[in-house]
């Protein structure tokens, strides 16, 4: 059996009747499962909050300025991510390195700010076990931070050690950068939901039934 | 499987023109056979990964069954020492050879977990799905071969963590396979390992599901439209969507329970919880009910993950062994798709007894009744497919035929459980155990055995022994009914499940207590009945009768590949010219017309190209 028969079709080019290549479909399916993961967490938040008359105004314990800064950082990194994809499409290695470096760097800024936030919570004796709100805060943002880290790892690989693929197989490389970008935008989007739900929503003293 | 003569790395092979017929010699000298590790352990070939999954899954099924046989001893003879074996398990589990209640609880929790997550699903989806789906759709491999390898390894390590939890301080998880809090939040370390193991298994299933869906959508052979897909592929397609979209709910719940156990949060702990006479020092304010919602949001679709691939296998075997097309292919497909969709809105019928309210109960019992309609359609189509067929009673067909009444019993006895008022009586009794085991054991497992007998010639090039197959089938059928039928009687009498002495101290069930012995001896008989299968499985690999590529005169595309298929599967890219079950076509010589064989059709299966038969 030669290699030709073992070749997997549509790894680079789109299949005519579906209009997609394999990785593009794969990442959208993966993101669908991620939507269900974070969706379950948000659903859990709703159930816990509505079911607990003594919920309390938890968001007063959090720092809105720091979260706003982080929101801006992440949105900016989504822009630099798109620019990286443009660079990959243009086969411009220098530009790719610049924008991928910026994306990874902004991700790192986000993580450092997050680290300061976490440290402040422990300093003020508000660990996850303090209340169900703090449990939600640490679990949701922690899981999100793990996604940021994973995205940083992938982006670093494509920006630096893995970028040599641009010479050998530019189209497939551009596809991969695009897919990494879709993941990065998703992680960004999760934060856009987390920010208002955890930091901004504050209904004051809850009404008891 | 040993004839793989070359390996084309998917990375380097991916850029060549695909789908070409080629004239190179199969024994390509430039590509030596991959070494042991690349071939058997870190393989990226979907067939080897399928065999890895199937073999590991079978071992876990045997192990999970062994746990149950230990439990059956204590149910039949509560408190008595197990001869020989008992002393081997140590004083923390069986002091003096008789079982501690804590150890019984571990066995029960791990039996359920292992059978569902480490046995049936890996065999049905990971094993059969991986081996058969790419072959049936005429693809060279899965869409993402390295991801496929990673899925298997995540599953394997999840299994290792689960098994290792038996040796943790305090033993393995004891909270049942459902791990309901608050109990599971305060159990010993084994429960933490259970969660970590589950996170591995969930990762494996999610990546596998992405791979299956992409493969089925993208890698179908030319001409193989969705309405020409074999029913088995449809079943795997829907199953993958269930895994993809339902498992994240358990992932979220598992992360929350992990936080409860490790970071002392209170996602599932209410205020003022008293444990061993002391108020638990936690913030409280959580909801044990949240776990049940998230768990069953996964675990009800999971039930369909267990049954749909089995139905797919039965459909293939029945079409092949009745020598006629499936009765109602389109209703079958529409039913399997609607089951998939509806399975996401029935989960709380497991929770009628939680006090969630009558409005919720009414909603979920209504959806449960609705989902029974497509299930009945599928079973009806499969039974009607037998009508007028010239049935060949091969070993796979025996198991497929037994599946029909066995699944029927399992399904119909589920109806009273799906209605809130009879469920008040039946909930948490042996009736429930009998019901879901009829679906999964003589139902799904029999279908999986049918699949093993059916596709074994494709995987090895040899048939399994028919004589040993009969020796496996008939006693298994007898004993498995001996195990589960009496449980209906016990359950209707009100015998509670999960009691380590089997309810020996309950007076209201004293008259059905003797059935425990019937069940236990049947279970041990069932174990002995598997010996012919184990012998057959290994013996036939070398000594079985040689099988031609199309071992059963079948129509679907996997039989167009050599047996065992080489790396890359097909010598020539197959093309689908017609539907999957063209048996006994009037006017066609022979009683089967393979899907990939050019025929007298004048329209080319691929638009814009000349028809091969006329070119």
* d(C-alpha B256, C-alpha A43), whole Å: 13
What number is the average pLDDT over the span B34-52?
A: 90
Chain A residues 54-93 with CB within 8 Å of chain B: 54-55
Residue A147: count of CB within 10 angstroms of its CB: 20
Give me the residue from B16, B253, B573 closest to A3, CB to CB.
B16
Task: Please tell me which residue of chain A has the smallest CA distance to B25.
Answer: A1
- pLDDT score, position B490: 96
* d(C-alpha B264, C-alpha B168), whole Å: 20
Confidence of residue B607 (pLDDT cuts 50, 70, 90): low
Asked whether residue B267 carries a pLDDT value surpassing 90, the answer given is yes
- The number of C-beta contacts closer than 8 angstroms across A and B is 197
Map tokens 């800064």 to a residue.
A69
Q: What is the pLDDT of residues B277-326, one digit of tens each?
A: 999 988 888 999 999 999 999 999 999 999 999 999 999 999 999 999 99
The answer to whether B211 contacts chain A (CB < 8 Å) is yes
Beta bridge partners of B429: B496
The answer to whether A101 contacts chain B (CB < 8 Å) is no
* d(C-alpha B112, C-alpha B289), whole Å: 21
Residue B328, phi then psi, degrees to nearest 5: 80, 60
The answer to whether B280 contacts chain A (CB < 8 Å) is no
Map tokens 């047996």 to a residue.
B563
Residue B288: count of CB within 10 angstroms of its CB: 18
First to last CA, chain B: 36
* d(C-alpha B576, C-alpha B599), whole Å: 11
What number is the average pLDDT over the span A113-138?
A: 94
Token representation of residue B121: 């699903």
- pLDDT score, position B611: 58
* d(C-alpha B171, C-alpha B150), whole Å: 29
CATH topology of domain A17-54+62-200: 1.20.120
- Output the CA angle B47-B443-B234, nearest 5 degrees: 50
Which of B302, B423, B360, B186 lies closest to A47, judged by CA?
B360
What number is the average pLDDT over the span B421-441?
A: 95
Q: What is the pLDDT of residues B505-526, one digit of tens each?
A: 889 999 999 999 999 999 999 9
* d(C-alpha B184, C-alpha B182), whole Å: 6
Which of B316, B293, B305, B383 lies closest to B339, judged by CA?
B305
* d(C-alpha B133, C-alpha B455), whole Å: 12
Give me the residue from A2, A132, A143 closest to B267, CB to CB.
A132
Where does residue A202 rank: exposed (0-12), middle (13-18), buried (19+ CB within 10 A)? exposed
Q: Domain count of chain B? A: 1
Distance from CA of B173 to the nearest CA of A (A): 23
Confidence of residue B610 (pLDDT cuts 50, 70, 90): low
Question: Is A20 in contact with B218 (Cβ distance < 8 A)?
Answer: yes
Helix, strand or coil, per DSSP, at residue B176 = coil
Question: Is B248 in contact with A128 (Cβ distance < 8 A)?
Answer: no
Taking the CA atoms of B208, B213, B216 and B218 in sequence, report the sign of the dihedral they define: negative
- CB half-sphere exposure, B198, CA atoms < 13 A: 28
CB contact set of B255 (below 8 Å; sequence gap of 6+): A139, A143, B199
- Asked if residue B181 lies in contact with residue B268, where contact means CB atoms within 8 angstroms, the answer is yes
What number is the average pLDDT over the span B318-344?
A: 96
Q: Which chain B residues touch A45 with a CB distance below 8 Å?
A: none
Q: What is the pLDDT of residues B104-149, one digit of tens each?
A: 999 999 999 999 999 999 999 999 999 999 999 999 999 999 999 9
Distance from CA of A108 to the nearest CA of B (A): 24
Phi/psi-derived region of residue B83, left when phi > 0, alpha when psi is between -120 and 50, beta in every other case: beta
- Asked if residue B135 lies in contact with residue B595, where contact means CB atoms within 8 angstroms, the answer is no
Which of B399, B447, B476 lies closest to B65, judged by CA?
B476
* d(C-alpha A9, C-alpha B222), whole Å: 11
- Asked if residue B267 lies in contact with residue A21, where contact means CB atoms within 8 angstroms, the answer is no
Token representation of residue B109: 């929790």
Map tokens 């012998």 to a residue.
B535
Asked whether residue B612 carries a pLDDT value surpassing 70, the answer given is no
* d(C-alpha B66, C-alpha A110), whole Å: 51
- pLDDT score, position B12: 37
- Asked if residue B193 lies in contact with residue B174, where contact means CB atoms within 8 angstroms, the answer is no
Where does residue B225 rank: exposed (0-12), middle (13-18), buried (19+ CB within 10 A)? exposed
In this structure, is residue B613 part of a structural domain? yes
Q: Give whole-number Cα distances, A27 to A54, A59, B211, B214, B615, in Å.
A: 41, 34, 10, 10, 40
Asked whether residue B608 carries a pLDDT value surpassing 60, the answer given is no
The answer to whether B2 contacts chain A (CB < 8 Å) is no
Q: Give whole-number Cα distances, B276 to A54, B112, B264, B283, in Å.
A: 26, 27, 18, 18
* d(C-alpha B332, C-alpha B410), whole Å: 19
Q: What is the pLDDT of residues B449-500, one digit of tens each?
A: 999 999 999 999 999 999 999 999 999 999 999 999 999 999 999 999 999 9
Confidence of residue A90 (pLDDT cuts 50, 70, 90): very high
Which of B57, B34, B225, B303 lies closest to B145, judged by CA?
B34
Which of B423, B431, B414 lies closest to B379, judged by CA?
B414
Which of B347, B134, B355, B157 lies closest to B242, judged by CA?
B347
Where does residue B75 rank: exposed (0-12), middle (13-18), buried (19+ CB within 10 A)? buried
Which of B301, B584, B594, B321 lies closest to B450, judged by CA?
B321
The answer to whether B246 contacts chain A (CB < 8 Å) is yes
- CB half-sphere exposure, A135, CA atoms < 13 A: 31
Asked whether residue A199 carries a pLDDT value surpassing 70, the answer given is yes
Q: Which chain B residues touch A2 with a CB distance below 8 Å?
A: 6, 8, 22, 24, 28, 568
Q: Which chain B residues touch A22 with a CB distance below 8 Å?
A: 143-144, 214, 218
Distance from CA of B509 to the nearest CA of A (A): 39
Q: Give whole-number Cα distances, B455 to A56, A101, B220, B542, B552, in Å.
A: 60, 51, 20, 16, 10
Residue B415, phi then psi, degrees to nearest 5: -60, -45
- pLDDT score, position A7: 86
Give the ipTM of the model, two decimals please.
0.94
Asked whether residue B1 carries a pLDDT value surpassing 70, the answer given is no
Token representation of residue A164: 């040599």
Helix, strand or coil, per DSSP, at residue B546 = strand
Question: Is A2 in contact with B28 (Cβ distance < 8 A)?
Answer: yes
Q: Give whole-number Cα distances, B371 to B300, B305, B341, B408, B413, in Å.
A: 12, 15, 9, 15, 15
E strand or H helix at A122: helix A93-123
Question: Is A8 in contact with B143 (Cβ distance < 8 A)?
Answer: yes
For residue B574, what are the domain limits?
558-615
* d(C-alpha B311, C-alpha B523), whole Å: 25
Q: What is the pLDDT of residues B212-263, one digit of tens each?
A: 999 999 999 999 999 999 999 999 999 999 999 999 999 999 999 999 999 9
Confidence of residue B377 (pLDDT cuts 50, 70, 90): very high
**For chain A, how big is the Rg over CA atoms in Å?**
21
Helix, strand or coil, per DSSP, at residue B429 = strand
CA A137 distance to own-chain centroid: 16
In this structure, is residue B579 part of a structural domain? yes
Question: Is B17 in contact with A52 (Cβ distance < 8 A)?
Answer: no
In this structure, is residue B439 part of a structural domain? no
Map tokens 């993958």 to a residue.
B240
* d(C-alpha A96, C-alpha A92), whole Å: 6
Which of A106, A7, A55 lies closest to B16, judged by CA?
A7
Token representation of residue B242: 């269930």
> Could you tell me what percent of chain B has a pLDDT over 90?
83
Q: Which chain A residues touch B214 with a CB distance below 8 Å?
A: 22, 25-26, 29
């Amino acid at each position: 059996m030669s290699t030709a028969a073992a070749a997997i079709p549509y790894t680079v080019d789109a299949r005519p009747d579906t209009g997609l290549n394999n990785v593009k479909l794969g990442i959208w399916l993966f993101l669908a499962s991620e939507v269900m993961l974070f969706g379950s967490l948000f659903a859990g938040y709703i159930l816990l909050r509505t079911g607990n008359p003594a919920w309390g105004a938890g968001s007063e314990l959090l720092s809105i300025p720091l979260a706003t800064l982080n929101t801006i950082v992440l949105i900016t990194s989504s822009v630099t991510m798109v620019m990286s994809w443009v660079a990959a499409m243009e086969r411009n290695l220098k530009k790719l390195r610049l924008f991928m470096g910026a994306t990874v760097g902004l991700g790192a800024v986000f993580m450092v700010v997050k680290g300061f936030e976490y440290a402040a919570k422990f300093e003020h004796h508000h660990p996850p076990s303090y209340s169900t709100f703090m449990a939600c805060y640490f679990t949701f943002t922690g899981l999100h931070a793990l996604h940021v880290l994973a995205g940083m790892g992938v982006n670093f690989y494509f920006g630096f050690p893995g970028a040599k693929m641009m010479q050998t197989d530019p189209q497939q490389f551009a596809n991969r950068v695009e897919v990494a970008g879709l993941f990065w935008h998703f992680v960004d989007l999760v934060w856009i939901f987390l920010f208002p739900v955890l930091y901004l929503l504050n209904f004051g003293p809850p009404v008891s039934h | 499987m040993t004839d793989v003569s070359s390996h084309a790395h998917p990375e380097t092979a991916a850029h060549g023109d695909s789908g070409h017929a080629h004239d190179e010699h199969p024994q390509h000298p430039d590509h030596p056979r991959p070494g042991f590790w690349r071939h058997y352990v870190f393989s990226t070939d979907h067939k080897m990964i399928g065999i890895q999954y199937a073999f590991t899954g079978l071992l876990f099924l045997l192990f999970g069954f062994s746990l149950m046989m230990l439990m059956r001893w204590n149910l039949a003879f509560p408190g008595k020492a197990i001869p020989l074996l008992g002393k081997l398990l140590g004083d923390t589990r069986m002091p003096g050879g008789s079982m501690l209640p804590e150890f019984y609880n571990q066995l029960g929790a791990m039996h359920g977990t292992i059978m569902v997550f480490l046995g049936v699903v890996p065999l049905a989806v990971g094993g059969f799905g991986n081996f058969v789906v790419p072959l049936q759709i005429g693809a060279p491999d899965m869409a993402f071969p390295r991801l496929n390898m990673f899925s298997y390894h995540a599953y394997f390590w999840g299994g290792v963590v689960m098994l290792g939890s038996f040796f943790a301080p305090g033993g393995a998880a004891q909270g049942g396979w459902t791990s309901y809090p608050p109990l599971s939040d305060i159990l010993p370390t084994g429960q933490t390992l259970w969660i970590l193991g589950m996170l591995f298994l969930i990762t494996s299933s999610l990546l596998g599901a992405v791979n299956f869906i992409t493969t089925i959508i993208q890698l179908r052979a030319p001409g193989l439209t969705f309405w020409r897909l074999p029913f088995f592929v449809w079943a795997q397609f829907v199953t993958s969507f269930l895994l993809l979209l339902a498992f994240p709910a358990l992932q979220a719940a598992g992360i929350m329970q992990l936080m409860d156990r490790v970071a002392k949060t209170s996602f599932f702990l209410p205020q003022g919880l008293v444990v061993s006479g002391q108020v638990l020092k936690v913030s409280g304010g959580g909801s044990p009910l949240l776990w049940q919602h998230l768990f069953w949001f996964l675990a009800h679709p999971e039930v369909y993950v267990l049954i749909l691939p089995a139905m797919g296998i039965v459909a293939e075997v029945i079409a092949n062994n009745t020598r006629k097309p499936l009765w109602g292919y389109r209703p079958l497909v529409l039913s399997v798709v609607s089951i998939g969709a509806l399975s996401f809105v029935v989960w709380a019928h497991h929770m009628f007894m939680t006090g969630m309210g009558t409005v919720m109960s009414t909603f979920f019992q209504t959806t449960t009744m609705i989902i029974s309609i497509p299930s009945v359609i599928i079973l009806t189509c499969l039974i009607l497919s037998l009508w007028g067929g010239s049935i060949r009673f091969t070993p796979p067909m025996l198991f497929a035929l037994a599946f029909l009444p066995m699944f029927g019993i399992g399904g119909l006895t589920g109806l009273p459980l799906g209605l809130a008022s009879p469920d008040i009586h039946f909930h948490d009794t042996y009736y429930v155990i009998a019901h879901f085991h009829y679906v999964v054991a003589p139902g799904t497992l029999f279908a999986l055995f049918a699949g093993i007998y059916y596709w074994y010639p494709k995987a090895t090039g040899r048939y399994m022994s028919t004589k040993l197959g009969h020796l496996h089938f008939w006693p298994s059928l007898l004993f498995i009914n001996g195990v589960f039928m009496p449980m209906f009687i016990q359950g209707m009498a009100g015998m509670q499940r999960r009691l380590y002495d089997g309810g020996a101290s309950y007076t209201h069930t004293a008259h059905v207590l003797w059935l425990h012995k019937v069940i236990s001896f049947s279970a041990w008989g069932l174990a002995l009945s598997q010996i012919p299968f184990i012998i057959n499985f290994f013996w036939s690999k070398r000594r079985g009768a040689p099988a031609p590529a199309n071992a059963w005169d079948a129509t679907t595309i996997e039989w167009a590949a050599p047996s065992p298929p080489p790396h890359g599967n097909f010598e020539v890219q197959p093309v689908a010219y017609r539907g999957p079950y063209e048996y006994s076509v009037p006017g066609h010589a022979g009683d089967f017309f393979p899907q990939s064989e050019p025929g007298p059709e004048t329209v080319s299966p691929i638009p814009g190209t000349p028809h091969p038969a006329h070119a």
